[in-house]
């Protein structure tokens, strides 16, 4: 290999070993740049996967909260339906009560030509201390049952709860 003649004002060419070192360093920088780009791409993929997992966790928590709220809402709706049914029953009972009051008032306002079984009982009760016919001094007979109870044929034993 011949070295080209040097031109006036130009620098002399670099020795071959320096050019090889420069080419090696350039290749090394290029390889490092490619490795760095590859690592950056992998990191971006990991970040994206982690963001997806975080989003899934947030969605699952939101889903659990939504399901809990739905369950509460269903229970509330059932209670409300029960209350509405109870309110309907109360209204029906009020109507029945009004009807019975109207019937009772119409029964009471009719002339006394009705049979005696529907008339109210107006006989006053005897005063206390009087007998069944209102006579003084007649008291009802009350028997004392303590003396008339028969004794048990089984003798009492200690600890069985019976008195001797």
Please compute the mean of the pLDDT values over residues 144-154 and round it to a whole number: 54
Torsion of CA 94, 96, 101, 106, to 10 degrees: 150
Q: What is the DSSP letter of 108?
A: H
In angstroms, the CA 164 to CA 162 distance is 7
For 76, 86, 88, the CA distances from 82, given in Å and listed in that order, are 10, 6, 10
Sequence ranges of the domains in the chain:
16-109
At 49, is the pLDDT very low, low, confident or very high (cuts 50, 70, 90)? very high
More confident residue, 94 or 131: 94
Q: How far apart are the first and last CA of the chain?
A: 142
The 10 Å Cβ neighbour count of residue 130 is 14
Select the highest-mean-pLDDT range: 46-50, 120-124, 151-155.
Answer: 46-50
Q: What is the mean pLDDT of the chain?
A: 79
């Amino acid at each position: 290999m011949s070295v080209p003649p040097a031109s006036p004002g130009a620098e002399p060419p670099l020795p071959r070993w320096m050019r090889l070192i420069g080419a090696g360093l350039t290749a090394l920088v290029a390889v490092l740049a490619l490795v760095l780009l590859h690592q950056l791409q992998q990191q971006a993929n990991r970040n994206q996967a982690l963001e997806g997992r975080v989003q899934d966790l947030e969605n699952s928590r939101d889903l659990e909260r939504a399901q809990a709220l739905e369950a509460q809402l269903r229970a509330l709706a059932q209670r409300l339906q029960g209350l509405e049914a109870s309110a309907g029953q109360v209204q029906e009972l009020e109507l029945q009560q009004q009807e019975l009051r109207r019937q009772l008032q119409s029964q009471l306002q009719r002339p006394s030509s009705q049979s005696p079984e529907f008339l109210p009982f107006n006989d006053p009760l005897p005063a206390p201390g009087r007998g069944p016919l209102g006579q003084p001094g007649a008291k009802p007979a009350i028997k004392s049952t303590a003396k008339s109870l028969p004794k048990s044929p089984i003798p009492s034993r200690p600890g069985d709860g019976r008195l001797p």
